[in-house]
Chains A and B, each alone.
Chain A
Amino acid sequence: MKRALSLLAVLMLALALTACGGKKDENKAGAADGIKIGSLGPLTGQYAADGNDMKNGVLAAIEVMGPEMGKLGPVTIQSEDDACDPRQAVAAANKLINEKVTAVIGAYCSSATIPASEPLMAAKIFMITPASTTEKVTERGMPYMYRTCGRDDDQSKAAVKFMTDQLKAKTLYIVDDKTTYSQGLADNVEKLGAGANLKVLGHEHVNQGDKDYSAVLTKVKAANPDVFYVSLQNSASAAPMLIQIARMGIKAKLLAQDAVYHPQLIALAKQAAEGVYLTFGYTDKTTPAYQKFLAAYKKYGEPGAYSAYSFDSTVAYLKAVKAAGSTDPDKVRAEMAKLDFDGASKHIKYKENGDSGSNYVIQVVKDGKFTNYWNPETGELFK
Chain B
Amino acid sequence: MAGGLRPQKARTPVEFFLQQLVNGVTLGGVYALVALGYTMVYGIIQLINFAHGEIYASGGYMGVILISWLFAHGFPPMVCLGAALILAMGYCALLAMALEKVAYKPLRQSSRLSVLLSALGMSIFLQNGLMLTQGVYDRAYPTEMVQGGFHVHGVIVSYMQCIIVGLTVLLLVLLNLLVYRTRIGKAMRATAQDKTMSALVGINSSRIISVTFAIGAGLAAAAGIMVGLYYGSVRYDMGFVPGIKAFSAAVLGGIGNITGAMLGGLLIGVIEVFAAGYISSEYKDVFAFIILIAVLYFMPTGIMGENVDDTRI
What does the 1/0 interface line of B260-288 toward A look like (CB < 8 Å)? 00000000000011111100111011000
Chain A residues with Cβ under 8 A from B227's Cβ?
A: 211
Interface residues of B in 1-18 (CB under 8 A from A): 1-2, 5-8, 10-11, 16
State whether the Cβ of A221 lies closer than 8 Å to any Cβ in chain B. yes
State whether the Cβ of B61 lies closer than 8 Å to any Cβ in chain A. yes
Leading 10 A-B pairs by shortest Cβ distance? A215-B276, A4-B101, A168-B2, A214-B23, A48-B136, A205-B282, A240-B231, A16-B133, A8-B98, A215-B277
Q: Which residues of A contact B (CB under 8 A)?
A: 1, 4-5, 7-8, 11-12, 14-16, 18-20, 22-23, 43-46, 48-49, 51-52, 166-169, 178, 204-207, 209-216, 218-219, 221-222, 224, 226, 236, 239-240, 243-244, 247-249, 251-253, 264, 267-272
Chain B residues with Cβ under 8 A from A7's Cβ?
A: 94, 98, 101
Given that A7-B94, A215-B273, A222-B11 are contacting pairs, would A205 and B281 also be in contact in the complex, using a CB cutoff of 8 Å? Answer: yes
What does the 1/0 interface line of B116-137 toward A look like (CB < 8 Å)? 0000000000000111111111
Cα-based distance from A207 to B277 in the complex (angstroms): 14
A375 to B: closest C-beta gap in Å: 15
Interface residues of B in 220-243 (CB under 8 A from A): 227, 231-233, 235, 237-238, 240-241
Cα-based distance from A240 to B160 in the complex (angstroms): 14
A245 to B: closest C-beta gap in Å: 12
Chain A residues with Cβ under 8 A from B231's Cβ?
A: 211-212, 240, 243-244
Chain B residues with Cβ under 8 A from A46's Cβ?
A: 235, 237
Chain B residues with Cβ under 8 A from A205's Cβ?
A: 280-282
State whether the Cβ of B171 lies closer than 8 Å to any Cβ in chain A. no
**CB pairs A–B below 8 angstroms (13 shown):** A1-B102, A7-B101, A15-B130, A48-B136, A167-B1, A204-B282, A210-B241, A212-B23, A218-B19, A218-B20, A222-B10, A251-B8, A271-B144
Contact: B133 with A12, CB < 8 Å?
yes
Cα-based distance from A249 to B9 in the complex (angstroms): 13
Contact: B277 with A268, CB < 8 Å?
no
Cα-based distance from A51 to B136 in the complex (angstroms): 10
Contact: A19 with B2, CB < 8 Å?
no
Cα-based distance from A5 to B280 in the complex (angstroms): 47
Chain B residues with Cβ under 8 A from A251's Cβ?
A: 5-6, 8
**Size of interface on B: residues with Cβ below 8 Å to A:** 66
Q: Which residues of B contact A (CB under 8 A)?
A: 1-2, 5-8, 10-11, 16, 19-20, 23-24, 26-27, 58, 61-62, 65, 91, 94-95, 98-99, 101-102, 105-106, 129-140, 143-144, 149, 156, 158, 160, 227, 231-233, 235, 237-238, 240-241, 272-277, 280-282, 284-285
Given that A15-B133, A16-B133, A215-B23 are contacting pairs, would A239 and B138 also be in contact in the complex, using a CB cutoff of 8 Å? Answer: yes
Chain B interface helix/strand/loop/mixed = helix
Contact: A178 with B282, CB < 8 Å?
yes
Chain A residues with Cβ under 8 A from B23's Cβ?
A: 212, 214-215, 218
Contact: A240 with B233, CB < 8 Å?
yes
Contact: A253 with B5, CB < 8 Å?
yes
Contact: B133 with A22, CB < 8 Å?
yes
Chain B residues with Cβ under 8 A from A14's Cβ?
A: 91
Chain A residues with Cβ under 8 A from B94's Cβ?
A: 7, 11
Contact: A11 with B95, CB < 8 Å?
yes
Given that A12-B133, A267-B140 are contacting pairs, would A247 and B156 also be in contact in the complex, using a CB cutoff of 8 Å? Answer: yes
Cα-based distance from A253 to B16 in the complex (angstroms): 21
Cα-based distance from A8 to B101 in the complex (angstroms): 9
A351 to B: closest C-beta gap in Å: 34
Contact: A207 with B282, CB < 8 Å?
yes
Chain A residues with Cβ under 8 A from B10's Cβ?
A: 222, 224
